[in-house]
Structure formats: structure tokens, C-alpha cells
Amino acid sequence: MAADHLERILVNTASAPETTGAESPRVRETLKALYGYVRPHRWNVVLGLLLALVGSAGGLLQPLATKALVDRLSSGGTLATLLLALTVLVLLSTVAEAFGAYVLERTAESVVLAARRSLIGRLLRLRLAEVDRMQPGDLMSRVTSDTTLLRAVSTQAVVNAATGALTLIAAVVVMAFLDAVLVGVALVVVAVVGAGAACVMPKIGQAAERSQAAVGDMSTGLERVFGAFRTVKASGAEERETARVEASAGRAWRHGVRGAKWEALLGTADNLAVELAFLAVLAVGGARVASGDIPVSTLIAFLLYLFYLMEPVYKLVEAASAYQEGAAAISRIKEVDRLAAEPPTTPQPARAQPSAAVRRPASVRFEEVSFRYGPGLPPLHQQVDFDVPGAGMTAFVGPSGAGKSTVFSLIERFYEASGGRILVDGKDIRQWPLPELRSAIGYVEQDAPVLAGTLRENLVFSAPGATDDDIRAVLARTRLDTLVERLPQGLDTLVGHRGSKLSGGERQRVAIARALLRRPRLLLLDEATSQLDAVNELALRDVIAETARETTVLVVAHRLSTVTDAERVVVMDAGTVRAIGTHEELLNRDELYAQLAATQLLIPAGRSGG
């Protein structure tokens, strides 16, 4: 079974014991990853290999046919049958090679598609801490440019290596039968040049890996610019940012040119080996013909085989070069597999919105919760304790950097607490299945992101099963109905990259509508009304207050005017809970809260500190 044989070769090679020092673990990992990409398509690869071998066999027989032709000319025989057979041989080998090339290219595209699907699924499940640590542009380049390099190494390189090695061995065996002395001369020359070429291989891989890293830096630079395009223009920073991105492009060019230099040297060594072998064989073979040791037809066939050797040698060189480039790409792709990710979830069909009975308000409790972003970093939360029994509004206030927004990130399990417990409905959130936990929560981020697409797509992003009646109701509640009436295509109007066609206040209202449309049991609002005008803010405060009657609402606010009616206010400072109470209670017994209120003119300045 050819496919099983190919599979055993790849597995055995990938799991071979370490024999080449420090490079062996990386080679073993690369081959194992390569086997993983090839295995689902092994039958197509085998078919391509067989067709390539048929084409190579046709070429392998041509020098022997030429020898027979010369011998027949010498004996005065007819040539018509031999010429016809040679023509058919050429046509069959050409057709086989062409079809084999198509099969391999199609398979290579399938390998790239599978790798991209796997990467995209992995990237979208990464832990938020990993995304914070990595550069988004670099991660995107692994999906785009790095996977492209798999096209050559996953199929063409495998087949080239196999056909090149087999045809090279077959050609050498045939040449040995023709004349052992001449084959010895040729192999000595090829071995000397090949030893030098082997030293060049690692340099191609190094250049390819550095080039791909520079391409990742370039993608990161472009993502950085387009993520703050207005700021770049307003700051007059176009030239500086252009220079930054061009520097990465220049590094990619330099490493690419360096790789091209080594590849050119490798190709030159290939040609040089054959040319020198040709000269050596011509000299020694001419002497053997003159002495009568071999006929001239043997020398001609041998010289044709030497030129025929260029193709399998070139295939081996090309396969080695593709492997070096592919190994660099695989190394970068496998780095993503080593990043911490959330467990995969099974896609759930769109469901109707839950009834009010099912949507009972969720309770939230923090028990001595501590959190830091990484080892060696200072703690952001220290022994945070509070209890939200369910329904009503709970506000989190305090100076910037107090850890208020991080409370929401911990509830959503974007990050894991370093110590303590977080309970939702009396159950540790680590025991909740992530999809179930997050499906109960509506979350409005501080930046209120709006995705590229239509307004409708943004509204139903968290609630794909929402009906048109649901959408109309939430539009009216968030005062977006007048916006929809103004838009040229209504709900189907494109909102632009990151909602660039909407104002800041409109984006916030879209984000709030998106969260409300989900009908969550727990609603997290992080500065959700900071960009609204006074009229719309007052209206949405009423909406939030109404929602709080049947939903647990947690609000992070810097403007205390938005939370004066909250059932409880949690005052945070330096990662700890300083005080909990109502607005009036905290004015009288917490100095920090009173100072914040006085600063925002909610009480006379003389009362602060009371």
C-alpha cells in the first residue's frame, strides 16, 4: 500500500531518535508537523508521486533508447519503430507529469486551507493574556504569509524528494551497468560539490525564518497605523509611520535577498556538479572508447544520463530548499499551538430569546480575589470582597487604575484570578462551561467596539436568533430608531471599519443595544455612556434602571452622576475594595468617595471629607 508506506516513512522519520545534536528536536517537530498536514491528503500525494515517477521513468528510458538508436544506425537497421516508440514514451511521460503536477498543486492548496482553518480557530480561542502579549499583525501574518510556505513543502517537496531520490538511484544503477568506471568518476565529482552545498542548507532556513518574522513586524506596523488612522494624520505622523513600516519591509527584503543568494549558490552547485562530472566523464570515457573498452553508443548514453541527472538532483535541491523555508513557517505556526487557549466549544444553533422565568437575575460574589497579569508583576487586585445578591444596579467607582474594569474581565473569564473565588449563582465560575457562563452575560466594553459590516450584523452579533420585533424594540429603547431612519439602507447600511461612519455616542448606543438584545441575566457596563450627550445619557440611564429591575447590572463609572441611584456602590482604590454602600451613605463615611463627588460638583466642596 503506497499511502501506508508513505505514512510509515513520515512517522518513522518524525519519531527517529536524536542524532544530530541541538537541531534534532526541531527537525523532529517539523517533520511531525509536516506529517500531520500531509496525512489527510496522503492518497493524493501518493497519486502525484506515482504520476511523477511515471514521468521520470519515461525520461530514464530515453538515453537507453538513444543508445539503441545509435547501435541500430551502426548496424544499418530501420529506425521507424524505435522513433515511434520514443515519441510515445515522451508523450506519455509528459502527460503523466502534467497531471501529477495538477494533483499536487490542488492538494497543496487543500493543505494550506486546512492549516489556515486550524490557525484561525486557534487564534480566536486564545486567552486574552496571550493576545495582550503578542502583536496582532504578527499573528495575522502567520495565517497569511506563513501558511503560504506550506504549499511547497507539504506536497511538492515530499514528492520531489521521493522522485528525485528514486530516479537518481535508478539512473546511477543503470549507469553502473553501462560502465562502472565512469559512474565512479561521476559520483566522486558530485559528492565533492554536494558536500559543499549541504553547508548552505541551514542558511536558507535562517534567512526564511528571519524574513517571515520581518513580514510579521510589517503587518504589525500596518495594523498599528490603521487602528489609529485619524490620530496618525492629526499628528502629522505619516512620514514617521511610513519609515517604521518600511524598515520592517527592508528587513524582510534583506533576509529574502540573503536567502535568494544562498538558493542561487545551491542551484549553481547543482549545475557545477553535473558540468564537472560531464567534463570528467568525457575525458575518461573518450579514453575508454579510444582504447576499445566501451562502444561510442555507451559513452553517448552515459553523457545523456549525466544531463538527465540534473533533473533529480535539482528536485532534491529544490526539496531541501523548500523544506528549509517550510520549516521556518512551521516553526512560527507551531508557536501559536503553544499559546494558551480556551477549550473549543461546540457551535450551538440559534435559539429563541429566553423567557423572563429563565432569565432570573444572576448573583455575583467575589471572595478574597487576587489577580496579577503575570509572574513578577505587581498585583492588580488584593483580597477583593463584595456580594451582589441579584437584580438592581451595583456601581464600581474609584480613581483610574483601581481595578474596576478588571472585575468585569475576571467575571467573563478573560483572565483567571490568581487567588480567591468568583461565584456566579453561588457556583465557582471555573466550574461553569464557558459558553454557558458567557451566554448569561451582556458586556459593553469601555471602547464600545463596532465591527465592520452592517448595522444589523452588529446588533445581532451576540443574539443571532433575535427577531425583527426584538430589534425594533431595542432600537426604540436605545434611541437608535431615528438613526436607522436616516441611514440610506436602514439596518443594512455598512458602518465602516470599526464603526467609522458612526459617531462615538452612536457606537456606544449600538453596543448597549447589542447587549440588551441578548436579554442577559447579568449586564456589565464599562463606562457605557461616557460619550453620550446629556439628553441621550439621561434616556439611557432610564433604560438601564428599567433593565436593572429584572437583571443584575454592574456598572463601572467615573461620572458619579450616572450611578447615584444605584442600590450599592463599591468604592475601589489600589486594587482593593475600600467601601460599599449607597451614594448617600458613602458621602458621609468614605473620604475618597466624598472627594470624587465634590470634584464632580455633586456636593458642596466643604462637605467632602465628612
More confident residue, 29 or 201: 29
Structural contact between residues 526 and 442, judged by C-beta atoms closer than 8 angstroms: no
Whether 505 shows a pLDDT value over 60: the answer reads: yes
* Residue 411: C-alpha distances to residues 267, 335, 414, 434, 529 (Å): 59, 28, 8, 11, 21
How far apart are alpha carbons 79 and 81 in whole angstroms? 6
Which range of 6-10, 29-33, 512-516, 606-610 scores highest in mean pLDDT? It is: 512-516
pTM over 0.75: no
| Identity of the amino acid at 393 | M
Residue 365 host element (H or E)? strand 364-371
Mean pLDDT of the chain: 76
More confident residue, 209 or 129: 129
User: How high is the pLDDT of residue 198?
Assistant: 63
Whether 357 shows a pLDDT value over 50: the answer reads: no
DSSP-based helix, strand, coil % in the chain, nearest 5: 65, 10, 25
Q: Domains of the chain: which residue ranges?
A: 2-337, 364-607
User: How high is the pLDDT of residue 424?
Assistant: 92
Structural contact between residues 441 and 524, judged by C-beta atoms closer than 8 angstroms: yes
Superfamily of domain 2-337: ABC transporter type 1, transmembrane domain (1.20.1560.10)
Q: What is the CATH number of domain 364-607?
A: 3.40.50.300
Structural contact between residues 396 and 580, judged by C-beta atoms closer than 8 angstroms: no
- Residue range 237-288, pLDDT digits in tens: 777 778 887 887 888 888 878 877 777 776 666 666 667 777 777 778 788 7
How far apart are alpha carbons 319 and 317 in whole angstroms? 5
Query: In degrees to the nearest 10, what's the CA dihedral of 177, 180, 184, 187?
Result: -10
